[in-house]
Structure 1
Amino acid sequence: MNVTTKTGEQNAQTDAQNKQETEDTQAGLKNPPETAMPVDPGPFDCMPELLAAARVAPVVRIPYLGQHAWVVCDPELVKEALTHPRLAKDITLVPDFMRRPGLMVGSQPPPEYARAMIMSDGEDHARIRRVHAPVLSPRNTERWGERVAVKVEGFLDELERSRSGEAAEVNVVTDYTHKVPLAFISEMLGLPLEAERRLRGITDVMLYSSDYPARTEAVGALFGAVEGWVRDPAPLRDGVITGFLEAAEGPDAVTEGEAVVWTVGMIITGYETTGSLISASLYEALRRPADERPRTDEDIKAWVEEALRVHPPFPHPTWRFALEDIDLGGYLIPKGSPVQVSIAAANREPDEDADSFAAERRGHGHLTFGLGMHYCIGASLVRLEAQIAVGSFLRRFPRARLSDSTAVEWESEWMIRRMSVLPAVLA
């Protein structure tokens, strides 16, 4: 959201910031240069702009909500920032100017209601991971994979039936890649069968609409739906939510608020980001001749890893906040500053452009799932889902190709990115 008018308070903050910049320059620290990134969602691919901004300096500032956000772009500094003990993720550190309806879903509930895994540190974070760990254990992940495979085959059967004549053009995003993780996460959580249609519409608006009142309404609708299921679990199937609610004793007992907040987080990360990864992986396959596509299971794994490197669903993941003035590579990050790390830039060599997928790289060194104690707890399951969905599609439709008449379309902003149209002919 771009804000062009400044209040008296904001002017005072700007004056103080300018004074601080002068003092810091005298102290020998560099002030990150200002550049721009596309912070409002729209029907475009943000990646070229993100990479261009990252080339301005190892650390940059961008105008954000009438003030500034700091973005760490250099790969080595990104690693440092991801594990820096003074860059915290505690929900209580979110400044008031960022607490706007429709933004920062993880910071919407107050901490006394519940803390999300991505907006917590220390023992709070460790406890949340402990509760989630059994759900995402290797044994459970293998079992979940079996369920994913069943759903994948069902959706591929639907695609087969949708053919008409010798060739049929489909939007792989709406007809396949986002159907798979939505159906799976709904089953995994134990949601009612009718929830899938409802969730797709809500999350589309919440994450990608530029209409912020509508986004605010969608956030409320998602929280409201989950809260209703938690308070009256009768419509639920056995799954993660009922498991949370049964964990009512001991030091890791789960409150109703926690069950709501954690379920919302799993819906967003388990559905939207996984669907984006599957779409990107298939896009890179379908734009190439059939003999250049992955064939074996090992090839599929390498392909998905490279898609994770080049097409991170969250080019900038989640917020961190400076607990004190921080020297990062000779650049000042002032105390209290909101900080993002550019996974998009950190995953690439300095001379790589946005269109740099190379299967032989096997995604080497990517940081898409993070680093350190906040490393994505569901990484193994996301990988497995994508491998099953991509491999099964390419085996079922080995001659599928991108459409000659319909263009690929993206929608994104600086923090989230996906394809909205992946047109393929199922020849």
Structure 2
Amino acid sequence: MNEHVQTSATAPLFNPLAPEFIRDPYPFYARLRDTDPMHVTPFGSIVASRHAEASLVLRDKRFGKDFVARSMRRYGPRIMDEPVFRSMSHWMLQQDPPDHTRLRGLVVQAFTARRVEDMRPRIQEIVDRTLDAVTPRGEMDLIADFAYRLPVTIICDMLGIPEEHREVFHERSSDSGRLLDPVPLSPQEIAQGNAGNAMSQAYFQNLFELRRRQPGDDLITQLVQAEEDGAKLSNEELTANIILLFGAGHETTVNLIGNGLLALHRNPDQLALLKARPELIGNAIEEFLRYDSSVQLTGRVALEEIEDLGGRRIPKGETVLCLLGSANRDSAVYPDRPEQLDITRPNVKPLSFGGGIHFCLGAQLARIEAEIAILTLLQRLPELRLVDAENPEWRPTFVLRGLKRLPGRW
């Protein structure tokens, strides 16, 4: 067992914001799967750590998001007076049908397989331009200088954010990940969330005005037109979901690229294999998603009483947190050394993009961005070495798992 895992009876089984948990959650997950696969947390939800229960909850219609009621149970009846919670309550990610169906239907066209495939040349161009700029320096931070620029540029393209506004998005560090963590927010963190939300709202409201006057071939123009048709979309929904798409459109892809590069450099045999056989990149991306998922957890609420889930009765209104990162290493699904990185692993079907009606809209886009980014980097900088692959600096959030920085040299 990993020496970082406290085995004392007093250590909580699930303490996701503890530094040792953020550094390496996987030994903790193994202990949960073995000893208490439907674990009741100190903050009052159930954690499903095995693949069987997690995948069932994601797809079962008896579970939903129930965001407003869930938040009130956790924070009290006044929580929806907080602007950041009110905004999140309109996210399609937090909605149940019929609102979820209506909102997702408005944006799904922008993410079709055909649309996304057509973006390959643009993605390649951004990656090449990024590498042209840093190659002469001989060093870079693979997160800020490389992984971050691509998905931010692509989501700006899709939303129609003007070129002259983009630098501020490239430089703005994103700490909104804490809003998604299962550990309740402090009043100070809620105030911080409100401030960030107010900035985003002000920016996007101005951009909506611009797109009403000067329509473009972009998602914001399309949604502004749907908003004018009142029945389809309110202004509050429009703003909230653009904030969601902007965040979701880059956060997780940055982490997929960063976590994937770290995994390769910690497993030199796999790095050498991918350099020798670049055609493995598609399967390698699925394995990166499985091995160290950008999204570690997603939650659902029981909309009715569930008699038996993994040996536990789930009362109506109970939150079940699905540990995607743990399910992805469950030996019941991956019998052959699930703790190992293996880019040739057969039948990799990670739960990293969620499941059911909330399956990630941008899954295919994220895969293609990561494919092109990682392959181009390996081809153009074959001598790249990480400065400290053993002790990288992780971001202090749990649900969104990613690196703060990842210095490399060549």
- The reply to whether TM is greater than 0.5 is yes
Matched, 1:155 2:142: no
Q: CA deviation at 1:125?
A: 1.4
* Higher mean C-alpha displacement, 132-141 vs 293-302: 293-302
Q: Tell me, yes or no, if the aligned pair for 1:322 and 1:337 is still in contact at 8 Å.
A: yes
Q: 1:230 to 1:204 in 2, by over 3 A?
A: closer
Q: CA deviation at 1:194?
A: 5.7
What is the CA–CA distance in structure 1 between the aligned matches of 2:403 and 2:79, rounded to whole Å?
22
Q: Tell me, yes or no, if the aligned pair for 1:133 and 1:377 is still in contact at 8 Å.
A: yes
Q: 1:267 to 1:336 in 2, by over 3 A?
A: same
Helix, strand or coil at the partner of 1:176: helix
1:184 is aligned with what amino acid? Answer: I
CA-to-aligned-CA distance 1:173-230 (integer Å, 9 cap, x gap): 1211122212221222122446545446665332259995664344334432332244
Q: 1:219 to 1:194 in 2, by over 3 A?
A: farther
* 2:7 corresponds to: none
Q: CA deviation at 1:61?
A: 1.0
What is the CA–CA distance in structure 2 between the aligned matches of 1:257 and 1:93, rounded to whole Å?
19
* 2:62 corresponds to: 86
Q: CA deviation at 1:161?
A: 2.7
* 1:206 corresponds to: 176
TM-score by length of 2: 0.82
* 2:85 corresponds to: 108
Q: 1:295 to 1:301 in 2, by over 3 A?
A: farther
What is the CA–CA distance in structure 2 between the aligned matches of 1:52 and 1:352, rounded to whole Å?
18
Matched, 1:264 2:243: yes
Q: Tell me, yes or no, if the aligned pair for 1:37 and 1:414 is still in contact at 8 Å.
A: no
What is the CA–CA distance in structure 1 between the aligned matches of 2:402 and 2:64, rounded to whole Å?
28
Q: CA deviation at 1:82?
A: 1.1
* 1:291 corresponds to: 272
Matched, 1:254 2:233: yes
Q: CA deviation at 1:406?
A: 8.2
What is the CA–CA distance in structure 2 between the aligned matches of 1:413 and 1:399, rounded to whole Å?
31
Q: Tell me, yes or no, if the aligned pair for 1:325 and 1:335 is still in contact at 8 Å.
A: yes
Q: CA deviation at 1:297?
A: 5.2
What is the CA–CA distance in structure 2 between the aligned matches of 1:76 and 1:302, rounded to whole Å?
23
Q: CA deviation at 1:343?
A: 0.8
Question: Which residues in structure 2 correspond to 1:291-310 (within 5 Å)?
Answer: 291-296=272-277, 298-310=279-291
* 1:8 corresponds to: none
Q: Tell me, yes or no, if the aligned pair for 1:59 and 1:71 is still in contact at 8 Å.
A: yes
Q: Please identify which structure carries the higher helix content.
A: 2
Helix, strand or coil at the partner of 2:395: strand
* 1:22 corresponds to: none
Helix, strand or coil at the partner of 2:23: coil
Question: Which residues in structure 2 correspond to 1:394-409 (within 5 Å)?
Answer: 394-403=378-387, 407-409=391-393
What is the CA–CA distance in structure 1 between the aligned matches of 2:297 and 2:263, rounded to whole Å?
21
Q: 1:341 to 1:106 in 2, by over 3 A?
A: farther
* Higher mean C-alpha displacement, 49-58 vs 145-154: 49-58
2:206 is aligned with what amino acid? Answer: D
Q: CA deviation at 1:374?
A: 1.8
Q: CA deviation at 1:300?
A: 1.0
* 1:382 corresponds to: 366
* Higher mean C-alpha displacement, 369-378 vs 40-49: 40-49
TM-score by length of 1: 0.79
* 1:7 corresponds to: none
What is the CA–CA distance in structure 2 between the aligned matches of 1:174 and 1:307, rounded to whole Å?
20
What is the CA–CA distance in structure 1 between the aligned matches of 2:188 and 2:375, rounded to whole Å?
37
* 1:228 corresponds to: 202
What is the CA–CA distance in structure 2 between the aligned matches of 1:195 and 1:354, rounded to whole Å?
44
What is the CA–CA distance in structure 2 between the aligned matches of 1:171 and 1:35, rounded to whole Å?
35
2:121 is aligned with what amino acid? Answer: E
- Number of residue pairs aligned between Structure 1 and Structure 2: 381
Q: Tell me, yes or no, if the aligned pair for 2:262 and 2:389 is still in contact at 8 Å.
A: no
Q: 1:309 to 1:171 in 2, by over 3 A?
A: same
Structure 2: give runs of 5+ residues left out of the alignment. Answer: 1-10
Q: CA deviation at 1:275?
A: 0.3
Matched, 1:128 2:98: no
Helix, strand or coil at the partner of 2:118: helix
What is the CA–CA distance in structure 2 between the aligned matches of 1:128 and 1:295, rounded to whole Å?
44
Helix, strand or coil at the partner of 1:313: coil
Q: Tell me, yes or no, if the aligned pair for 1:305 and 1:362 is still in contact at 8 Å.
A: no
Q: Tell me, yes or no, if the aligned pair for 2:256 and 2:294 is still in contact at 8 Å.
A: yes
What is the CA–CA distance in structure 1 between the aligned matches of 2:390 and 2:12, rounded to whole Å?
34
Q: CA deviation at 1:115?
A: 2.4
The CA RMSD measured in Å over matched residues stands at 3.3
What is the CA–CA distance in structure 2 between the aligned matches of 1:379 and 1:267, rounded to whole Å?
14
Q: Tell me, yes or no, if the aligned pair for 1:309 and 1:363 is still in contact at 8 Å.
A: no
Of 74, 84, 91, the match for 1:98: 74
Of 35, 46, 64, the match for 1:70: 46
* 1:393 corresponds to: 377
* 1:58 corresponds to: 37
Of 302, 305, 312, the match for 1:325: 305
What is the CA–CA distance in structure 1 between the aligned matches of 2:285 and 2:324, rounded to whole Å?
16
* 2:153 corresponds to: 183
Q: 1:92 to 1:365 in 2, by over 3 A?
A: same
Identity of aligned residues (%): 24
Helix, strand or coil at the partner of 1:71: strand
Helix, strand or coil at the partner of 1:122: coil
